[in-house]
Amino acid sequence: MARFLGFITALAATGAFALTPEQLLSTPRRGAADPSPDGTFALFSLSQYSFEKHKSSSSLKKIDLKTGAISDSGWNSSEINEYVWLPGTESGILYINGTGKNPGGVSLWIGDVKTPNTTTKVAELDAPYSGLKVANTSSGDLHFLVNSLAYPNGTAYNEETAVAPRSTARYYSDIYVRHWDTWLTKQRYNVFAGVLSSNGSYSLAGTGLRNLNHGVNFTTTQSETPVQPFGDSSDYEISPDGTLYAFLSKAPQLNKANYTASYIYLGAFAGSEPAVAFNGPETEAFKAGHQGASGQPKFSPDSSKLAYIQQDKDYYESDRWQLYTIDVTEEYGKVATSNWKALSAEFDRWVQGPLNWAHDQNSIYATAEDYARVKVFNFPLSADGEHKALTSNTSVSSYALLPDSSLLVTATAIWTPTEYSIVANGTKNTLFDASTVDLNLAGLSSATVSEIFYNGSDPNLKQQLHAMVVKPTNYVSNKTYPLAFIVHGGPQGSNANTWSNRWNPQTWADQGYIVVAPNPTGSTGFGQYLTDAIQGNWGGTPYTDLVNAWNFVNASMSWIDTKNGICAGASYGGYMTNWIQSNDLGKEFKALVTHDGISQTQAAWGTEELWFIRHDYNGSIWESDVYDKWNPFNHIANWSTPQFVIHNTLDYRLPESDGLGLFNVLQARGIPSRFLNFPDENHWVLKQENSLVWHTEIFNWINHYSKGTPLDDVPIGN
Ligand SMILES: *[C@@H]1O[C@H](CO)[C@@H](O)[C@H](O)[C@H]1NC(C)=O
Ligand SMILES: *[C@@H]1O[C@H](CO)[C@@H](O)[C@H](O)[C@H]1NC(C)=O
Ligand SMILES: *[C@@H]1O[C@H](CO)[C@@H](O)[C@H](O)[C@H]1NC(C)=O
Ligand SMILES: *[C@@H]1O[C@H](CO)[C@@H](O)[C@H](O)[C@H]1NC(C)=O
Ligand SMILES: *[C@@H]1O[C@H](CO)[C@@H](O)[C@H](O)[C@H]1NC(C)=O
Ligand SMILES: *[C@@H]1O[C@H](CO)[C@@H](O)[C@H](O)[C@H]1NC(C)=O
Ligand SMILES: *[C@@H]1O[C@H](CO)[C@@H](O)[C@H](O)[C@H]1NC(C)=O
Ligand SMILES: *[C@@H]1O[C@H](CO)[C@@H](O)[C@H](O)[C@H]1NC(C)=O
Ligand SMILES: *[C@@H]1O[C@H](CO)[C@@H](O)[C@H](O)[C@H]1NC(C)=O
Ligand SMILES: *[C@@H]1O[C@H](CO)[C@@H](O)[C@H](O)[C@H]1NC(C)=O
Ligand SMILES: *[C@@H]1O[C@H](CO)[C@@H](O)[C@H](O)[C@H]1NC(C)=O
Ligand SMILES: *[C@@H]1O[C@H](CO)[C@@H](O)[C@H](O)[C@H]1NC(C)=O
């Protein structure tokens, strides 16, 4: 480490920094620090892409929680798909080995992180299961959960052994035929339960795996866990004593395209009855008006309570998430619930996972976005207990509770992709900060990052609006830099103090811009009023807020050159860039960049997330005039600013025809424009080689129109 620090200090003296796209994309990516049960060390994954070898390498690392010293774990990460800690041990693990005896299957192994060479295979599974969770029971048997795609009859689906259909036809009789980047098939993800019997050594109990979703009644939507496309093993849970399980599944009586509602199902591990939802129709929680999406089921250490989060409205994906607990008991294979309680009704932020119970069960830890940071909060169970923020300036991506009740926090910021720290009694002890170690990140620090506040345009808003401001790493104080105005997606999202591999503010700034990244109406983390106020209002106050932000920069930040500014955004930020092109603010920019953004609001019904468009556009396309009101295509006569358009083929929520239509109009009207498409990327550009092209060509475009650098001739054409 000393050698790297020396190198970085030497660079600092020359001032020769800049985070290039290639450096951004080939910087090591580290996962969450996951502490061993005894709290002495943590494991984390590390992967790194090489533009010389054109491939990634990955490994599993160990960090000492006293000294911060990092070493290799001794485990071959390409043989371990995933692991979980064995409760009750110091550093024992149960893990999934990607190779098994069954073609397309996996195997389960038990080992100890401290002795990588002494591992034992305990089970062969017949499908590519993942998402392992485990509990130790009073008998010494281990109860575990995994998930896999399954046939409607409940049998796990194994692509390698399945009989391939003779035709490629996709055929549907109801709405929701594809989602995100995947077309629906007859298979659904389901949770499976298994027992590793203990008798000297462990082995899979003869009954094999039981499908927990199978048998759950539905009228419209089949039970599916994890909920696709972003669900993972946090969608289900086993109680610490192994007697109960919980999983989340979408509302069985509602259509998946129209609604976001999901419920939490509880069942007895040893029982044979299907699980029952405790917050579905007819329940106390439902009748009290809490009918939206649920998440993050988490049993208390003594297995007597379950914590979870839920939204109220059944088709609003950006409704406030609140924290609840309910008491659970199991008797004769049946689960009973009582004492349902709301814990965050007065907290005007979204409670998010991971949830962790305090060791004494008197409070619950969770995260929440607050003023452009994600913080850890503690929520006491006592009636009117006050929530308290335990972290401050960075954005927490994960955290865990250590045996001594301190927190092991994994966080990011605009200046670092990974920071591991221990937070105890209000003090933070940083164990590791990637930006002080990784050569690609030399020169990054919070010194380039600041924030501004300016007036919003909604007279009912009782607070000022916020924007992040990022200067180049080699910023010189008596020069001016052109403005890079970046509009975030969502629209219910934010420009926050987080690291991103896709829209990395420092990488944009280091092209020689001052990035101003505003949080207008619709943004999250500033209270639900601001988030909700975008409904039916996509081109209204969000646009006038952005005009205010631009005016503020123009009037009071003399070091920002607004005459040569550019504006860019993805998703809703892409829509807004198209709306800016359609309105006066568009004339203030030298170039625009739209990534996967709506250009024709009527075409938004090509999406499968009808809940979203129904909510945000005040109803269905035949009911609401909002589609017409905020449609960039109604203002083509105003378009004049050079525009770069990116639209990916696998973005099923925003079909690529929208980007093509935008590009065709720009071309036909003689407005300088380019079109970039990735046939193998969805809403996001995830592959490093694709991302390098994305960055290179966008920067080529904005640098040409903002600074007069030559435009390359890479595009295919004529
Ligand atoms: C890790 O495992 C993979 C797959 O089994 C194997 O190809 C590779 O050689 C192993 N690497 C090391 C360092 O043992
Ligand atoms: C599981 O619990 C049993 C009973 O409490 C105990 O004897 C055993 O050591 C535990 N196993 C592990 C792996 O902790
Ligand atoms: C994974 O399984 C393969 C095949 O059984 C075996 O050779 C290898 O040693 C296992 N690796 C680990 C880390 O369990
Ligand atoms: C594990 O085995 C490898 C190869 O057999 C050996 O190089 C290594 O020293 C062993 N590690 C331990 C901790 O025994
Ligand atoms: C379930 O359906 C699949 C696919 O048709 C089939 O291969 C499997 O044998 C069936 N399982 C049972 C238990 O009938
Ligand atoms: C446990 O192991 C012993 C010794 O291997 C064997 O005799 C016995 O049948 C096993 N019991 C069960 C329930 O599998
Ligand atoms: C499922 O539906 C069947 C038939 O309507 C009913 O008999 C059964 O009680 C239901 N099961 C559950 C768990 O609700
Ligand atoms: C979905 O919502 C639309 C608009 O409210 C409504 O017309 C339609 O009946 C709903 N469909 C289903 C299956 O719920
Ligand atoms: C926090 O403070 C309490 C009370 O002073 C002390 O008992 C505890 O050990 C401290 N915890 C840590 C992790 O330092
Ligand atoms: C918090 O972050 C800002 C950047 O927004 C930075 O300027 C400031 O120094 C940070 N404060 C602390 C206490 O780290
Ligand atoms: C912002 O709002 C405050 C309070 O309403 C007002 O006093 C101030 O003049 C406004 N600033 C600008 C630049 O409009
Ligand atoms: C800008 O500041 C640097 C030192 O920070 C100084 O060397 C240089 O002369 C200044 N340039 C102008 C134009 O004032």
- Per-residue pLDDT band for 15 (boundaries 50, 70, 90) equals very low
Question: What is Dmax (Cα atoms) for the chain?
Answer: 78
Residue 333 has what pLDDT? 86
Residue 447 has what pLDDT? 97
Q: How many CA atoms lie within 13 A of 111 on its CB side?
A: 20
Residue 12 has what pLDDT? 44
Pocket test for ligand 9, best of 425, 427, 428, 429 (most atoms within 8 A of CB): 425
- Residue 88 pLDDT > 90: yes
The rounded Å distance from CA 124 to ligand 4 centre is 25
Residue 338 has what pLDDT? 97
Ligand 1 pocket (Cβ < 6 Å) reads: 76, 78-79
Rounded to whole angstroms, the Cα distance separating 393 from 504 reads 18
The rounded Å distance from CA 536 to ligand 8 centre is 18
- Residue 163 pLDDT > 60: yes
Looking at ligand 4, which atom is closest to the CA of residue 117?
1
From the list 325, 424, 321, the residue with the least C-alpha distance to 374 is 321
Question: In the structure encoding, which two tokens stand for residue 338, read together?
Answer: 């009582």
Summarize pLDDT for 29-87 with one digit per residue, the tens: 999 999 999 999 999 999 999 999 999 999 999 999 999 999 999 999 999 999 999 99
How far does CA 138 lie from the centroid of its chain?
Answer: 37
CB contact at 8 A, 314 and 292: yes
For 6, phi then psi, to 5°, come to -60, -45
Overall average pLDDT of the 459-486 stretch = 96
Overall average pLDDT of the 206-228 stretch = 95
Question: Among the residues of 464-561, which ranges form H helices?
Answer: 505-509, 528-532, 541-556
- Per-residue pLDDT band for 1 (boundaries 50, 70, 90) equals very low
- Work out the percent of the chain whose per-residue pLDDT is above 90: 94
Rounded to whole angstroms, the Cα distance separating 509 from 18 reads 9
Summarize pLDDT for 360-400 with one digit per residue, the tens: 999 999 999 999 999 999 999 986 668 999 999 999 999 99
Residue 646 has what pLDDT? 98
- Per-residue pLDDT band for 135 (boundaries 50, 70, 90) equals very high
The rounded Å distance from CA 293 to ligand 7 centre is 23
Summarize pLDDT for 569-596 with one digit per residue, the tens: 999 999 999 999 999 999 999 999 999 9
Rounded to whole angstroms, the Cα distance separating 78 from 59 reads 8
- Per-residue pLDDT band for 7 (boundaries 50, 70, 90) equals very low
Q: What is the pTM of this model?
A: 0.94
The rounded Å distance from CA 96 to ligand 1 centre is 15
For 580, phi then psi, to 5°, come to -65, -40
Summarize pLDDT for 321-364 with one digit per residue, the tens: 999 999 999 988 899 999 999 999 999 999 999 999 999 999 99
Asked whether 153 lines ligand 5 (CB < 6 A), one says yes
Ligand 7 pocket (Cβ < 6 Å) reads: 217, 274, 276
- Per-residue pLDDT band for 207 (boundaries 50, 70, 90) equals confident
Instruction: Give me the chain's average pLDDT, please.
Output: 95
**What is the DSSP code string of 445-491?**
-GGGEEEEEE--S-TT--S-EEEEEE--TT--TTS-EEEEEEE-SSS
Pairing mode of beta strands 29-30, 41-50: antiparallel
From the list 310, 168, 148, 270, the residue with the least C-alpha distance to 213 is 148
Asked whether 620 lines ligand 8 (CB < 6 A), one says yes
Overall average pLDDT of the 502-512 stretch = 98
- Residue 9 pLDDT > 50: no
Pocket test for ligand 4, best of 72, 79, 91, 117 (most atoms within 8 A of CB): 117
Residue 617 has what pLDDT? 98
Residue 385 has what pLDDT? 67
Residues annotated catalytic, as ranges: 571, 651, 683
For ligand 8, atom 13: residue with the closest CA: 255
Summarize pLDDT for 102-111 with one digit per residue, the tens: 999 999 999 9
- Residue 403 pLDDT > 90: yes
Residue 14 has what pLDDT? 44
Rounded to whole angstroms, the Cα distance separating 596 from 239 reads 42
Find the length of the chain.
718
